[in-house]
Amino acid sequence: MSGHVIRLIPEDNYKLIPAPHIIQNLRSLLDDCSIFCDIHVFDSVQFIDQGGNFEYVACPFCSEILDVAWWQEEMSRSFTHNFEDLSIHMPCCNLRTDLNRLKYHLPAGFARFTIESKRNEKELTDLIPEMEGHLGFKLRVVKARY
Ligand SMILES: [Zn+2]
């Protein structure tokens, strides 16, 4: 089956799960706006990929486009520890960062909490400022094509 999925994840804190009452408020907000979507909380950190929208990954410091084989190796290494530690050492400019801060084009990221919709992309993105107000943190938009 092919299709488009939009997922919203915390911009910075990939381990963050909002408190149950905040998730409840968010659910009510989405239901009130008749937005068809699912809120997921995962047991461990997941890579929230962009599927067929993957073009490249670049360094957040020097914008160098990264070797995909290098990135995949770092992903595999981190995955063996359930993505608990995403820290990496950039081969291009020798600085330290983490896999969640790389510049994914199109965007992707890591999360234990996602808001996901297959139908209401525009309605969901229009509501981002209000959702961020409820959640108290910025959201990253991951658009996937499979
Ligand atoms: Zn660099």
Q: What average pLDDT is seen over the chain?
A: 96
Q: Which range of residues forms the domain containing residue 96?
A: 4-145
Question: What pLDDT score was predicted for residue 120?
Answer: 87
Centre of ligand 1 to C-alpha 142, Å, is 23
Q: Which amino acid is at 11?
A: E
* pLDDT band per the 50, 70, 90 thresholds, residue 1: low
Centre of ligand 1 to C-alpha 56, Å, is 14
The answer, as to whether pTM is greater than 0.75, is: yes
* E strands in 69-138: 87-89, 96-98, 103-105, 109-117
Question: What pLDDT score was predicted for residue 115?
Answer: 98
Centre of ligand 1 to C-alpha 58, Å, is 8
- 8 Å CB contact between 11 and 145: no
Peptide bond into 106 cis (omega under 30): yes
How many distinct structural domains can be found in the chain?
1
* pLDDT band per the 50, 70, 90 thresholds, residue 30: very high
Give the environment of ion ligand 1: residues with CB less than 5 A.
Answer: 59, 61-62, 64, 90, 92-93
Burial classification of residue 28, based on how many CB atoms lie within 10 Å of its CB (0-12 exposed, 13-18 middle, 19 or more buried): exposed
